[in-house]
Chain A
Amino acid sequence: MTLTHSGTPEDFVPASQPELSRFLSENATSAHQQIFPVGGRTSLSVCCPDSHSGTLVCMSQLHRVVDYPVRDMTITVEAGMRLDQLNEIVSAEGQRLPIDVPQSNRATIGGVIATNTSGPRRFSYGTIRDYVIGISAVDGAGNLFKSGGRVVKNVAGYDLGKMLVGSLGTLAVISQVSLNLRPKPECMQLVWFEFSSCESVDQALEAIVTSGTRPTAVEYCNSKAARQIVAESRIELPMENHVVCICYEGPEKVVKWQAQQIIEEWRSFSPLSVQIIEGTHAARLYHAFVEYQTSSDDPVTLKAMLLPSQMMSFIETATRLNIAIQAHAADGIVYGHLPDSASSLEDVNQILEQLTTGIDSRTGYLTIYQCESDWSESLPLFCSPPAGWELMRQLKQALDPQQLLNSPRFAKLVKH
């Protein structure tokens, strides 16, 4: 069986947490099969796993609401619940989980936590780590454990939820989660700015630091990415240059005021064009931004984590290399889709080398976010080692002593 397989009778589909726990316990004591936990299978290629034999643990049947005390603005759900299902339930109460998730009709909350998925809204709302108040999971030996609880403020014990966020299923299989929720805003508008150069973009982004407005999101895309995002949104927008798209959310009066205010503030940076997008168009365009990070068919997707002040020089280099770039610009998170012309490992490595040169290794990281499985063995996952690596290795050893949980992925983490 391979990880990219769409499901076979050999997949294990637990109907309850105890069943999941029993299965992993039995596997640890007898079968010693590699376990690949999967949710909506939307992120199987994140961090470049290869095809490996083992058992898929499909969380699709663990999708129930355990508890939803509406007025406490918290919800406890099983990890296999799909994001659209979750949003539908809380939206009916005027609430939301303000995390952007591509393919939210398929993605599960457990998968979002395991992959630490985020999108444009992270600038003002943070990431999923800021919303997990309690978590249950099963480790490689079958131990079902929890940390945190169901109240928004709680410091009893260590915050094991944090260690599972972004752990890619290598430490434990997330089975249940309690989340903090936020009120749903009344209105959203986007302001689409087109600039002629990276330099003017950089100046405008620097001005965000002192802007009189409070954006929900600040997105950048170069013309190559803009063309695809615009095509996906089906809105006519200028896209031949550098684009910065600012999002505002809140009461209508406040959103409209901010959109006008940012146009006024950025006049001095001489944008080539400005356009306010509202209503259903705004929703469609925003959706296109959220989907873009995983929508590419390109052979390799990069993810860079940079200081915002150092981001545009990286983007300038990447654009020169014909890489399509989308960035959560105020956070310094950059996604780059390599061009089709990068058709060999040598090409890709050459591009990586050029990109890495421009990164301050003390404060920035370049990672392979997704790539074709044929190449995953040969590409470095991190272009510089993450801090605290030895502790990460020990953590994996402590929770999964037999290295049964998604270990090929963990091996990728090692190979930096």
Chain B
Amino acid sequence: MVDPANQTSHLSAPVLEELERGSGPFSSLIQQLTQIVGKKALLYDADELLVYECDGYIVDKSAPDIVVFPTSTEQVSSIVKICNQFNVPFLARGAGTSLSGGCLPIGGGVMIVLTRMKQILEINLRDRYAVVEPGMVNLHLTNALKGTGYHYAPDPSSQGSCTIGGNIATNSGGPHTLKYGVTTNHVLGLEAVLPDGSIINLGGPTAETPGYDLHGVYVGNEGTFGICTKAIVRLTRDPEAHRTMLAVFHTISDATRAISEIIAAGIIPSALEMMDQGIIQAIEEAFHFGFPLDAGAVLLIEVDGLDIALDEEVRQIVDICNSHNVREIQRADTPEERQLIWKSRKQAFGAIGRLSPSYCTQDGVVPRTRLPEILEFIEATSEKYGMRIVNVFHAGDGNVHPILLFDERDQDQIQQVLEASEEILSKCLELGGSVTGEHGIGVEKINFMSRIFNETDLSQMEKVRNIFNPRQICSRDKVLPPHQTDLQASVTQSHPGRRAPH
């Protein structure tokens, strides 16, 4: 069990070596885990483990030694206690859609995959909350709520596969963040298994709970505070109506100025998504939506709320777009047309395959008014490296997702992608922004942490992490840069590349 004397120190290499297959401790560990979950809920064959060697971030890879699929909080707790007993690191994984290596099992260990814990435990419309297990796919909750007049607001683009537990770990956003907020704004409470195996409840179904807001601190911990085993999430009224439109602009700067003015006019659209010329061309080639190929940028604008309010908002938006030289505005007058417009946005990443064999998506944020500058910089970076970069992103909250196109077979191009990404994210910081708006620090951006935060800031974060995870036995070497004296377990470097951003 946990040795208090060993607190705050990293696990030592010899301990990990004991996990080598064929060794006594390894067999004993397998045996004990099997007693908890059964043979069919355990993987330790090297080929099967390859599936779990990375998530959506495939630059770094590190396979776990064992993958286990619990079905209850009690099983998770028992698994964690055994990992402590064997001094084996562990971490949780949902659907593996994380884009920053949040569930990369650095140095191996036990991976606890929560996809079999996917039940809705309670839906309470009167009190506007639902209780779900962490492996619940985000979209499945939305589907279960259809017809009730309520929904769960956070909707990452990967919502068809990502899980609520993963959303909580990374504090996920999505296209509707601008109006409805991110995951932390919709989590009322949670149950978690702490890294010592104890089960705790934080927050609760009431709008407020006494004491410190620990569930608020827990959201966005990227798996380093333990394993969320139950979530109490706030339900939001469905809007009565939507108005969705596509505004086609000659230039990106016209489009970004229109965005600023729409919000300055007191309108908070439910979505404000931008696609630049490069992505428009790719989408058009793939799906033939009828976008003009010479357009500088297209804005997908959606407002929602009471039907009686929306026409006036649309009128104001159209006026603002007109005053910024909009070429044309297409409006969706039917649900089918709305779906088609959203399809153009959601299939953007599917279209990129036509442009390039590989791509790398970044996740920088700038203040909304600095969008023209960062977009200019991205264009200049594209020219500097002779590398095509296209943009499709959440313009309303300044979260850019430049997509760097390259050929992974060319080592020079891989190096250029890494350098160009670094330059773009550094520029985001220079403009007063951040290096991640919704994908998290994970292992990918860990070196940026000491540029964003000073030693004291990081030290305070470390203190908080150590309260939850004193031995760092859970999800090690994530979020906070390790001390130089600490062991840094090796990972295998692969190629840059990402799936669709949230």
**A residues with CB within 8 A of B:** 69-74, 94, 116, 122, 126-127, 129-130, 139, 143-147, 149-160, 162-163, 165-167, 171, 182-186, 206, 209-210, 212-214, 250-251, 253-254, 257-258, 305-309, 328, 331-333, 363-365, 367, 381-382, 386-389, 391-392, 394-395, 398-399, 413
Which residues of B263-277 have CB atoms within 8 Å of chain A's CB atoms?
263-268
Q: Which residues of B contact A159 (CB under 8 A)?
A: 171, 184, 216-217, 219-220
Whether the Cβ atoms of B220 and A71 lie closer than 8 Å is: no
Whether the Cβ atoms of B200 and A163 lie closer than 8 Å is: no
Q: Which residues of B contact A184 (CB under 8 A)?
A: 266
CB contact between B213 and one of A70, A153, A163, A251 (< 8 Å): that residue: A163
Q: Which residues of A contact B458 (CB under 8 A)?
A: 157
Residue of B nearest to A308 (CB): B127
Provide a sorted-by-A list of 25 A–B residue pairs whose CB atoms are within 8 angstroms. Answer: A145-B456, A149-B452, A151-B434, A153-B397, A155-B220, A155-B441, A156-B434, A156-B441, A156-B452, A157-B461, A158-B221, A160-B460, A160-B464, A166-B212, A209-B125, A305-B210, A307-B126, A308-B127, A309-B127, A333-B208, A367-B210, A387-B209, A392-B212, A394-B467, A399-B460
CB contact between A251 and one of B182, B312, B441, B466 (< 8 Å): that residue: B312
- On whether A72 and B464 interact (CB within 8 A), knowing A251-B309, A395-B212, the answer reads no
Whether the Cβ atoms of A156 and B448 lie closer than 8 Å is: yes
**B65-73, B80-88, B132-140, B361-369: which lies at the interface:** B361-369
Chain A nearest CB: distance from B476 CB in Å? Answer: 16
- On whether A153 and B399 interact (CB within 8 A), knowing A147-B461, A160-B460, the answer reads yes
Any chain A CB within 8 A of the CB of B260? Answer: yes
- On whether A395 and B208 interact (CB within 8 A), knowing A153-B365, A162-B184, A251-B312, the answer reads no
Q: Which residues of A contact B439 (CB under 8 A)?
A: 155
Any chain A CB within 8 A of the CB of B55? Answer: no
Which residues of B152-192 have CB atoms within 8 Å of chain A's CB atoms?
170-171, 173, 177, 181-182, 184-185, 189
**How many chain B residues have a CB neighbour from A under 8 Å?**
87
Whether the Cβ atoms of B126 and A309 lie closer than 8 Å is: yes
CB contact between A206 and one of B126, B184, B461 (< 8 Å): that residue: B126
Whether the Cβ atoms of B200 and A158 lie closer than 8 Å is: no
**Bound CA–CA A387/B211 (angstroms):** 8
Q: Which residues of A contact B365 (CB under 8 A)?
A: 151, 153-154
Contact flags (1/0) for B345-356 with A, using CB distance below 8 Å?
A: 000000000000
- Which among B170, B171, B208, B453 has the highest number of chain A CB atoms within 10 Å? B208
Whether the Cβ atoms of B210 and A143 lie closer than 8 Å is: no
Q: Which residues of B contact A413 (CB under 8 A)?
A: 210-211
Any chain A CB within 8 A of the CB of B459? Answer: yes
Q: Which residues of A contact B208 (CB under 8 A)?
A: 116, 127, 305, 331, 333
CB contact between A150 and one of B207, B209, B432 (< 8 Å): that residue: B432
Whether the Cβ atoms of B210 and A71 lie closer than 8 Å is: no
Residue of B nearest to A158 (CB): B461
Chain B nearest CB: distance from A250 CB in Å? Answer: 7
Residue of A nearest to B431 (CB): A151
Beyond A154-B436, A254-B309, A309-B126: 5 further Cβ-contacts under 8 Å?
A74-B367, A159-B220, A333-B208, A392-B214, A413-B210
CB contact between A71 and one of B171, B216, B369 (< 8 Å): that residue: B369
**Bound CA–CA A153/B398 (angstroms):** 8
Any chain A CB within 8 A of the CB of B412? Answer: no
Q: Which residues of A contact B453 (CB under 8 A)?
A: 146-147, 156-157
- Which among A155, A253, A309, A381 has the highest number of chain B CB atoms within 10 Å? A155
Q: Which residues of A contact B305 (CB under 8 A)?
A: 214
Q: Which residues of A contact B465 (CB under 8 A)?
A: 158
**Bound CA–CA A71/B209 (angstroms):** 34
Any chain A CB within 8 A of the CB of B437? Answer: yes
Any chain A CB within 8 A of the CB of B496? Answer: no
Whether the Cβ atoms of B369 and A158 lie closer than 8 Å is: no
Residue of B nearest to A213 (CB): B306
**Bound CA–CA A152/B459 (angstroms):** 24
Whether the Cβ atoms of B200 and A391 lie closer than 8 Å is: yes
Any chain A CB within 8 A of the CB of B388? Answer: no
Any chain A CB within 8 A of the CB of B501? Answer: no
- On whether A363 and B206 interact (CB within 8 A), knowing A143-B460, A214-B306, A399-B463, the answer reads yes
**Bound CA–CA A159/B209 (angstroms):** 18
Any chain A CB within 8 A of the CB of B335? Answer: no
Whether the Cβ atoms of A72 and B367 lie closer than 8 Å is: yes
Q: Which residues of B contact A382 (CB under 8 A)?
A: 210-211
